Each structure stands twice: as C-alpha cells, then as structure tokens.
Chains A and B, each alone.
Chain A
C-alpha cells in the first residue's frame, strides 16, 4: 500500500514535515498505517489508552526486541532511549514490557536487549515476576537462536546489587542464548554507563541485522501521553520555589510528617496522579563538618568532581553522597586505609558480619572506626557516588492545584551506634530550606501506578503513613473530573488524635461523596497493634465484592513489612470470600497484577 499525501500547500505542514511524513507513510504496511492513524487520534484525545493500544498491537516487524523490566520507570526510559537511538542508526527495534510479554514468543526472538532494574534487596519488580519465574522454571525454552545483551540497573548500597541483571544474564546463557556484549551493571547514577552500553550493543547489532539507510521514524513504543514539553529533567532539574511547609502531625506526636508545596510555575513540567517527584537535596552542613574534621580538611581545599573543580566543602555539601555506605566504596577505602580489620570485614566469608557492620552506620563511621593514616581528599572524593535525587510520590492533582506539586515527607531521625542520624532529603525539607530557597526538582512519570483510564472504575487504596500521598492525588483528581467511580481508602498510623494525615480533607471528601469509604487503623491507640491489613480482613466481604466489580487495588508505602502484610491480607480475603484455596487465590491475585488492577508504589 502506498499512501500519498496531497500537495504540500493543501496541508498544514511545512516542507520538512511534508517530506518526512511522506517518507514514513511510504514505508508503512496497511496494518501499521491503521495503527498510526488510531494512535495519533488517541494521542490528541490525550489518554493513556494510546499507550495500551500501541503495545497491544506491538511490534513483530522487527528483529530486535528491547525487553524491559522496571519498577519506577527508569528502565522504561532507557528502553525508549535505546529504541530512539537504534532508529536514528537505521535499526528497527520494538520495545516490550516484561509484564505484558507473551512468554511463548520468547523462543522466536532473534535479538534480545534486556534492560532490567533490581528493586531493593534483589526482588524482581512486580511486572517482572512472571517472566522471571518462567525463565527459571522447567518450562523455559531453549534459546539457541537468540542473541542477547543485558543492562542492569541497581543501587550498590544493597548487597544484592543488580541481582536481576545478573540473574537474567546468567539464565539466558544457561538456556543456550548467545551473549553479544558483556553485562553492564549501573549504579544509581546510571546515565553514562547505560549510554555506553547502548552505543556498544547497537554497534554490535548493526553488524548482524539489516540496517536501513535512513533513520526510522519512531513507531512501536507508546510515547508517554505526557510528552515532556519542558526543558527540565532529571539531568536539568527545575529550581522550584517552596510555597508551604507545614507539619501535619498534631502537637504531641512523636512523628514529624510534613506537607510540602512547591511551585512549578514557569517550568513546563506536568504530572499525573501516581507520578513521582525527584528532588535533589543538599547534605546537612553538620554532617559535612564532621567529615571535614575526620579528613583533617578546612573545607576550601580544591578537588575535582565530574571534571569540574570545586572546594571539598562544596563537593561534600552539594555533589556527593556522604552518608550511605556501599561495598564498592568501602573496598576503595580499604585499599587506602590499610586496616586489617576492615579487610577482614570485606572478605567473602564474612558477608554476614559485613552486613551487620553496615546496619545503622554511615561513611563517617567508616572514617572514625577505621581511620586511614593518610587520605588524600581527591582520593576520598573519587570513592563517593554522586548525590542521588530522592523520589517522592506526588500528593496532589494538577487539576486542583495548577502549577503546584505537593509532597508528604516524614523526617527521618534516629540514633544508631552512638550518633544521631538523619535522612538526607527528609531533613533537608524539615530543617534546611526556608522561604527563599529553591528546590531542584523534576517529574518522574510512573506508568505502573495510575488511576484506571475509566473514571467509573472503583478503586481501593491502601496507604498507611506517607503511603497516603499518591491517594490524595488520586482522590483530588477524581474529584476534579467528577469521576463517578466509587473509592475506598485504608489508612493507618500511630495515633488518631495527632497522626491522621489530611484528616480534615478526607472528612470533607466523605461528606461530599467524593470518597465513598474509609477505614483507619491507629496502631498505638489500644493495647494490641492494629494495622490496615486488619481492617482489610474485617471488611473482606465488601472488599471482595468490589474486586469482583472490577475495582483496581493500589498499595503505597513501606515495602519491607506493610506491603507484604497487605498482600497476605489480600490473598486471605480472596480465599475466604471467593471460597478458593491458596493456589487459586494466588492465581486470582496474579491475574489482577497482569490486568494492571493491582498496582504498587512501595519503598
């Protein structure tokens, strides 16, 4: 089929646009043309349905599959980036998300680029679980005819650094696939390492695959419905002005949860409920001072960070991570410190003792517990990671608060090993920013935590503590658009009188019917601890009924215990009310996950 555009003057296009568009249309199959027509129409209508549609049709017209497994969206962005880069080099690729992937297709793949992130202590991201289990099961096919390369994202402060990447890389090999490039593991500051991998991998692929003479116009990967019209990004954060900073906990509470409002005016940044705000804090001056003392430095001494010259104070204050201990950092330090006890700790056999040492300790402890006789400042600087941005689930809807973004941040303060400690960004908000400070921010879109496309769909939200933040955004959004779907919120914290975050707003929404139901659990208001999962079980009959009606189920907050307890409770609810055994209940819940009706934002 050959679609021919009318003469340029009869179109709203300019020369260049007319030329490129004609080029694209001339190489589309009828199937692709139909898809494009639908996609463009839907994009203009502005909905995430566009994305769904695109991925449903998927690719298939390409020999290179970029397979993505992501929790927060970084891997997806890199996949998109890879796809664009490939296209610019005449390589046609198709991006598929692991959560949507049809497993039987695996053995038909020819070239597989796997980009997968590791979340926390080596657990697979939610939408990666099924593929992961499949690959490691007996049903995994022989992949003799597949060529592959793996890019892993992770955080070296976790012992199981980039475990997903490691596992996928190894397993694919075990299944007979051929590695075309060594695996690259990226730490939190991933951009340059990832770009290096992309470049190398694509170079390798262009020797094996048909290369088009002209760059390929991007089709196949669902562009985010919010194409960034902004100049600001992770690399170039927007200096936002702080509008409001109030402690939400009532007088007498032991907690310090803050409601922060930042202005996005002039940034061009936009976000949807479920998205995340990246914040670049600076370190606490007193922590920097302590380090300088341990380093026997005054602060003004020159060092180089990222190729730029600056003072050691600035480097530690603004650019580098100076609290979290990681194995790589300790290894580099040990090389200079010449402390046998430290070398022992790093030994393979002493993994447990090493973890034990790390627990509750920071870089300052390393310097004071194992002082190096001589530690050149530049060498020290070179050991440290860049100060990473912190991510916060956004607590507002743009429709209610144009040009603003709200956050719910709990100040982390604790004592460990004889020192008082604090969270970097949480105390940055609590202690160190004032009326005239600007906070460098960017928006991180999270496609895995979104309101249902249809506003009539019921939603169940479980968000104790600061986990309630995105649900404020959800409810605000649905209120603004007059959504007809019912909504149910489960919230928990320590004390009713002082810790019922946003209570006055919830009561208002309940009164207006904009929130249909709410259950609360205040753990320390009575003898026995009561949590959100207990409330879920008490409400199991109605909870199950809502699920049967098609409700989406969301969980946000603590990963370690709460998310697990809530998952357990969900299974129990399904078992009890659905009269199912454990296996069947797990199937039911898995289906919810596959249908994107069980979404989690946990940390």
Chain B
C-alpha cells in the first residue's frame, strides 16, 4: 500500500483530503473542543469526529427559532458506543444509564446495529462523556466514519451452545478491524504519546485514508437472520458441525443506502462467496476489507460502498481477487437455512440452566414516562442482575443468562416497573423498526421514530380487523434513503421524501433474503392507509398455508420480485 500522489488526492472527494491532512484522524479536534464561542466543531473536524464515534447534530425543532433569535443552531452531539455482538455487563448498563442521565437527554437509544446511542450532549461535556464510556470498558472509536462499524452477532441463537464461541469470533473480528490510531486516546483520554521519537501512527489494515465509505460486518447463527446478514458489506454465517462451530459462509457486498432520484444508487443484498474454516476468519475479514480499501471509489461518495465496487467488476472478479490475496482458495459454501429475522420475546431457555428474557422496546428508545418507568426499571434490574444485557438486532433488549434461581427476582422487578407484557403487541409491531430521524438527525427528510408508532396504531387496527393480530409482518421506516433501519428489507417499507411524505415499498423476504420494491411514491398517511388496507385484507383471505406477506404481494402482482440490487429500480 503506497502513499497517494497529490494529483490523485485532488481527484478525490473533500473528505479524502480531510483524512489525508488529519494525521490519522486528529485534525484540529482538540482546538475545536476548546473553542468557547461556538457549540460546534470546525467543519473538517465534523468529518473526523465520526471516526471517533461522534456525530455533530443540532436540534432541528429549534433551528428556525434560534436563527430568528440570532443564536447559532442548538448544536449537540450524538455518541455511538460500540458493543460487539451487543453483549454487555450489568455494570456497563449502569454506566450507560448514568452517562445518559448526566450528560445526555435522559434516554438511551438501542440502534439497529446493536449499539448504544446517546443524544443531546453539548460540546463541553463531550470529553467527559467519552472518558466515562471508556472507563466502563466500552468505546466509541469506529462506531461511525469510513471504517468497519459495530460488528453484529445474534444475541440468542436457537443453538445457544454455539453462541459463546461465535460471539468470541465476533469480538475478535471487531478488535482486529479496529483502527490503531492513538489519536483517540490522545484527544479523549489525555494519553499523550509516550515518547516524541515514537513512530507516527500506522494503520496496518486501513492505511492513512481509511476506507472509501462505511463498512458493516455481521455474524449470523442460522436459522435466525435477525442481524440481516445480507444487508452488510461483510458477513459470516456460522456453520455448525457436530454441535460445534466449524467455520463460516462468507457474504459480501450488502448495503442499504441510496439517493432519491439517482438510479445508479440502490440497495443491494450480499452474495455468498464461499466457506472458510474458523481459524481463517480474521485473515479473510482483513483481506476483504483491504480489497475495498484499494478498489472502492474515492471520487464519488455516493458510489463508494463495497456493493458498487463489486457490481462494477462482478462477483467473479471479487472471488479471484480474494483468493489471490489470501494465498489459498475459499471452499464452496456449505448449506444453511434462515427462517426468520425477528426477535423471540419473553422467557426463552438457554444452556446450563440459564434463561433469557427479551422485551419489546418501541424504536429501541429507553426512557421514563409517566405511564412506563422503563429506564428506572432497567436500572433496578441491572443492580441485581448477575448475567448480561444483550442488545438485539431489532432494537430490543435481552436480559441474558438469568439463572433459574434469579428468574423470580427479575420477574418481580419486571412486574414492579410494568415491563412485563411489553411484547403483547401485534405481530406487525413486534417486527417493526424505525431510525431516529427528527429532531436530531441532520439527514432526515421526514419523521421516523416519532411517527411510526402512531402509524402502527392505525395499521394495528387494520390488522386486528383482518384477523391478523398475531401474524408477523416485517415493517420498517426511515426518514431518508440512507436506510439505517434497513427499510429495503421490509415486507412493508417506508422511506421519507419530505415532511409527512414517504415512498412505500413492498415485497421483501421475511427472513431478509430478498429486497422489496417501490410500490407508491411520495404519499402521505391517508394514502398509505388507503393503499395498505385492501392489500392486508386480501392477504388475510387469500394467502396460502404459511405464505408470508412479502411473498404474497409478489405472487399477486402488486410488485415484481427483485433478484439483484441492480434491478431495484427497474
């Protein structure tokens, strides 16, 4: 990997030049943090802060008001905490809870990638927040930015035996692909370089310019595809042999995001490219990341994701390239079966006399309200819990590894804080997901988290009416086409276009095996309900035995089947 010439750098996008000049992600972050005249970071630092897990945002509800008041926007920061595989200890939960109430907006957001998100941190509290996250033995580095993000893993596989070992690989992949730059410790943890003669930071895998775009990795344990493995740039499907982990089927090239009105951008599902024995996992992950590093488009960020790198050259090119770099050939993929992508709610028995309790958390947003003291309840549970907490891939929470002796203790607390029965909702709602959107996300075009619940109220009524109260249908909403809540994998998908207006997509596969397709463009609630009501009723009446909604709408011709990302728009 050689350095980039100045001519080459000029051809690249601005962010590439910012990375280049940043000295391994330092930029002028330190000075920006100390500037007392503004609650914002310097422009270029807002790109670099992402690599540190920090997004600069502003309260969009106040934007206009503050402009009229001759005040700058209400800048605040979102901090994303990495939780490989979504597993953390009760003590870490308590720290997260404490940070949320001290520096943030008194809520904890569980993300669609099994991470924690804090919102509402003001600049002068940022350093304290990051330091406290690290003190809890979690971190925020590479939670955002052009690097490998939080590595997902099924938190409660049917084959619980496998979980421990697979989870271990998840952590090792995460660790292996974490940036090596000491900038993070320098800026947030006040750890100066030990000696001035120390070599400049080196990134053995990423190099000075990191990746062209975000890179998402997930690990799945069949038959559950809750992590939506095919939506990831890189995936590892656990293959079992005699009750033990043998190796992984490797998937590449998945990615959700697209831009309205630009058909050369599209969501894509990953290809399964082969099988590797488990000892080779880290090497395979590294080489795949390096392929994207070297070949991804750095002149156009909308064309920079791994999916386009592959589609531009073909999957055969990729396999050839990978084998070349590995120095050995990947084996043909082994058989596997996915059956679902949702969470299993309530108490589920694990191994070695443990139980897991999964609760439904609308939009993954944990907070206290008058009716439901969720945050307090979970805090109290964390104080006595001896197992772990697991963030699910559907923005829900699992209280994991509860011994049968502790089970009644936890049950009593769940009851006390009205947390039992969280999952007594329709099958539709239990399989719903929404991204954050307003008021904090700068990219939102329409409401998502703040709107989906009330839309679901209306859809729930229709479902009940049609006798489909307990039928699971995957439904997802995002405020913009970046697709953070994986809307293109919804049997019903909504993507915001303008305030109150959404594109409606139908027909994805129930266990994340097929993308949906555009059904109606730029419609408001009235039309959404008008469109969906007859379809839902027809589904109730005419579906085949065990036929899923996503398959039904294709069979009945509402939308065509999408076989490849390239055909998403056709």
Asked whether A504 lies within 8 Å of B37 as measured between CB atoms, the reply is no
Asked whether B39 lies within 8 Å of A505 as measured between CB atoms, the reply is no
Report which of B37, B62, B122, B124 forms a contact with A251, defined as CB distance below 8 A.
Answer: B62
A3 at the interface (CB under 8 A from B): no
Given A251-B62, A510-B37, A520-B36, A497 and B69 contact (CB-CB distance below 8 Å): no
Number of interface residues of A (CB under 8 A): 22
B198 at the interface (CB under 8 A from A): no
Asked whether B39 lies within 8 Å of A496 as measured between CB atoms, the reply is yes
B199 at the interface (CB under 8 A from A): no
Report which of B68, B72, B122 forms a contact with A503, defined as CB distance below 8 A.
Answer: B72
B4 at the interface (CB under 8 A from A): no
Report which of A503, A510, A518 forms a contact with B71, defined as CB distance below 8 A.
Answer: A503
Interface membership of chain A positions 244-255, coded 1 if the CB is closer than 8 angstroms to chain B and 0 otherwise: 001111110000
CA distance A465 to B38 in the complex (A): 18
A56 at the interface (CB under 8 A from B): no
Q: Which residues of chain B from 61 to 83 have a CB within 8 Å of any chain A CB?
A: 62, 65-72, 74
A35 at the interface (CB under 8 A from B): no
Q: Which residue of A lies closest to B68 (CB)?
A: A246
Given A251-B62, A506-B37, A520-B36, A500 and B69 contact (CB-CB distance below 8 Å): no
CA distance A247 to B70 in the complex (A): 10
Asked whether A507 lies within 8 Å of B69 as measured between CB atoms, the reply is no
Min CB gap A519→B, angstroms: 8
Report which of A251, A496, A505 forms a contact with B65, defined as CB distance below 8 A.
Answer: A251
Asked whether B122 lies within 8 Å of A507 as measured between CB atoms, the reply is no
Contacts of B62 in A (CB 8 A): 250-251
CA distance A246 to B66 in the complex (A): 11
Min CB gap A579→B, angstroms: 30
Report which of A247, A506, A518, A520 forms a contact with B69, defined as CB distance below 8 A.
Answer: A247
Q: Which residues of chain A from 490 to 526 have a CB within 8 Å of any chain B CB?
A: 496-498, 500-507, 510, 518, 520, 525
Asked whether B69 lies within 8 Å of A246 as measured between CB atoms, the reply is yes
Min CB gap B38→A, angstroms: 6
Given A250-B69, A504-B67, A497 and B74 contact (CB-CB distance below 8 Å): yes
Given A496-B39, A507-B37, A507-B38, A250 and B70 contact (CB-CB distance below 8 Å): no
CA distance A270 to B474 in the complex (A): 69
CA distance A504 to B65 in the complex (A): 13
Interface membership of chain B positions 117-134, coded 1 if the CB is closer than 8 angstroms to chain A and 0 otherwise: 000001010000000000
Contacts of B122 in A (CB 8 A): 497
Contacts of B124 in A (CB 8 A): 496, 525
Min CB gap A504→B, angstroms: 5
Interface membership of chain A positions 207-251, coded 1 if the CB is closer than 8 angstroms to chain B and 0 otherwise: 000000000000000000000000000000000000000111111
Asked whether B70 lies within 8 Å of A259 as measured between CB atoms, the reply is yes
Asked whether A503 lies within 8 Å of B74 as measured between CB atoms, the reply is no
Contacts of A249 in B (CB 8 A): 69
CA distance A592 to B68 in the complex (A): 39
Contacts of A507 in B (CB 8 A): 37-38, 72
Asked whether B39 lies within 8 Å of A504 as measured between CB atoms, the reply is no
Contacts of B66 in A (CB 8 A): 250
Min CB gap B236→A, angstroms: 45
Report which of B37, B65, B68 forms a contact with A518, defined as CB distance below 8 A.
Answer: B37
Asked whether B68 lies within 8 Å of A250 as measured between CB atoms, the reply is no
Asked whether A250 lies within 8 Å of B39 as measured between CB atoms, the reply is no
Given A250-B66, A251-B62, A504 and B36 contact (CB-CB distance below 8 Å): no
Q: Which residues of chain A from 461 to 506 have a CB within 8 Å of any chain B CB?
A: 496-498, 500-506
Q: Which residue of A lies closest to B66 (CB)?
A: A250
Q: Which residues of chain B from 347 to 402 have a CB within 8 Å of any chain A CB?
A: none
CA distance A520 to B68 in the complex (A): 22
Contacts of A510 in B (CB 8 A): 37
Min CB gap A408→B, angstroms: 11
Q: Which residues of chain B from 314 to 369 have a CB within 8 Å of any chain A CB?
A: none
Given A497-B74, A497-B122, A248 and B37 contact (CB-CB distance below 8 Å): no
Interface membership of chain A positions 380-401, coded 1 if the CB is closer than 8 angstroms to chain B and 0 otherwise: 0000000000000000000000
Given A497-B122, A507-B38, A248 and B74 contact (CB-CB distance below 8 Å): no
CA distance A507 to B67 in the complex (A): 13
Asked whether A248 lies within 8 Å of B39 as measured between CB atoms, the reply is no
Q: Which residue of B lies closest to A491 (CB)?
A: B37
Min CB gap A82→B, angstroms: 44
CA distance A502 to B66 in the complex (A): 10
Contacts of A498 in B (CB 8 A): 71
CA distance A551 to B69 in the complex (A): 31
Contacts of A496 in B (CB 8 A): 36, 39, 124
Interface membership of chain A positions 343-365, coded 1 if the CB is closer than 8 angstroms to chain B and 0 otherwise: 00000000000000000000000
Q: Which residues of chain B from 98 to 140 have a CB within 8 Å of any chain A CB?
A: 122, 124
Report which of B36, B38, B74 forms a contact with A250, defined as CB distance below 8 A.
Answer: B74
Contacts of A503 in B (CB 8 A): 37, 70-72
Q: Which residue of A lies closest to B73 (CB)?
A: A504
Asked whether A250 lies within 8 Å of B71 as measured between CB atoms, the reply is yes
CA distance A520 to B38 in the complex (A): 11
Interface membership of chain B positions 273-294, coded 1 if the CB is closer than 8 angstroms to chain A and 0 otherwise: 0000000000000000000000
CA distance A507 to B36 in the complex (A): 11
Min CB gap A298→B, angstroms: 43
Q: Which residue of B lies closest to A499 (CB)?
A: B71
Asked whether B74 lies within 8 Å of A505 as measured between CB atoms, the reply is no
CA distance A259 to B71 in the complex (A): 12
Contacts of B37 in A (CB 8 A): 503, 506-507, 510, 518, 520
CA distance A498 to B71 in the complex (A): 8
Asked whether B69 lies within 8 Å of A505 as measured between CB atoms, the reply is no
Contacts of A250 in B (CB 8 A): 62, 66, 69, 71, 74
Interface membership of chain A positions 301-322, coded 1 if the CB is closer than 8 angstroms to chain B and 0 otherwise: 0000000000000000000000
Contacts of B74 in A (CB 8 A): 250, 497
Q: Which residue of A lies closest to B76 (CB)?
A: A497
Min CB gap B256→A, angstroms: 35
Min CB gap B496→A, angstroms: 26
CA distance A249 to B72 in the complex (A): 12
Q: Which residue of B lies closest to A505 (CB)?
A: B70
Q: Which residue of A lies closest to B65 (CB)?
A: A251
Q: Which residues of chain B from 281 to 313 have a CB within 8 Å of any chain A CB?
A: none
Which of B65, B68, B71, B74 is most buried by chain A, counting CB atoms within 10 A of its CB?
B71
Contacts of A501 in B (CB 8 A): 70
Contacts of B38 in A (CB 8 A): 507
Contacts of A505 in B (CB 8 A): 70
Contacts of A259 in B (CB 8 A): 70
Min CB gap A254→B, angstroms: 15
Q: Which residues of chain B from 31 to 71 have a CB within 8 Å of any chain A CB?
A: 36-39, 62, 65-71
CA distance A497 to B69 in the complex (A): 12
Which of B36, B65, B68, B122 is most buried by chain A, counting CB atoms within 10 A of its CB?
B36
CA distance A251 to B74 in the complex (A): 10
CA distance A259 to B69 in the complex (A): 9
Asked whether A248 lies within 8 Å of B36 as measured between CB atoms, the reply is no
Min CB gap A411→B, angstroms: 15
CA distance A246 to B122 in the complex (A): 25
Asked whether A500 lies within 8 Å of B68 as measured between CB atoms, the reply is no
Contacts of B65 in A (CB 8 A): 251
Given A250-B74, A251-B62, A497 and B67 contact (CB-CB distance below 8 Å): no
Min CB gap B125→A, angstroms: 10
Q: Which residue of B lies closest to A520 (CB)?
A: B36
Min CB gap B106→A, angstroms: 14
11 extra interface residue pairs, beta carbon distance < 8 Å, beyond A251-B62, A500-B71, A503-B70? A246-B69, A248-B71, A496-B39, A497-B39, A497-B122, A498-B71, A503-B72, A504-B71, A507-B38, A518-B37, A520-B36
- Show 16 residue pairs from A and B whose CB-CB distance is below 8 angstroms, ordered by the A residue: A246-B69, A249-B69, A250-B71, A251-B62, A251-B65, A496-B39, A496-B124, A497-B39, A497-B74, A497-B122, A500-B71, A504-B67, A504-B72, A506-B37, A507-B38, A520-B36
Q: Which residues of B are in contact with A by a Cβ distance under 8 Å?
A: 36-39, 62, 65-72, 74, 122, 124
Q: Which 9 A-B pairs have the closest CB atoms?
A: A504-B70, A503-B71, A502-B70, A504-B72, A503-B72, A250-B71, A248-B69, A520-B36, A505-B70
